[in-house]
Amino acid sequence: MPIIDSILMELDQEAATTRRVLERVPEASLTWKPHAKSMSLGQLALHVASTPGQVAEIVTSDSYDVPEFTQPAAKTSAELLSTLDSGIASAKRILGKMDDAFLQRSWSLQRGNQVLFSAPRVGVIRTILLNHWYHHRGQLSVYLRLLEVPVPSIYGPSADENPFG
Q: How much is the pLDDT for 69?
A: 81
Q: How much is the pLDDT for 80?
A: 98
Q: How much is the pLDDT for 88?
A: 98
Which residues of the chain are modeled with pLDDT < 50? none
Among the listed residues 133, 117, 137, 141, the one whose alpha carbon sits nearest the alpha carbon of residue 56: 133
Backbone angles phi, psi at 110, to 5 degrees: -130, 160
Q: How much is the pLDDT for 78?
A: 97
* H/E stretch holding 101: helix 100-104
At 139, the amino acid letter reads: Q
- CA–CA separation, 23 vs 43, rounded Å? 15
| 61: helix, strand or coil | coil
Tell me how many degrees the CA angle 122-98-133 measures, rounded to the nearest 5. Answer: 45
Q: How much is the pLDDT for 165?
A: 80
3-146 has which CATH code?
Answer: 1.20.120.450
Supply the pTM of this predicted model. 0.95
Q: How much is the pLDDT for 96?
A: 98
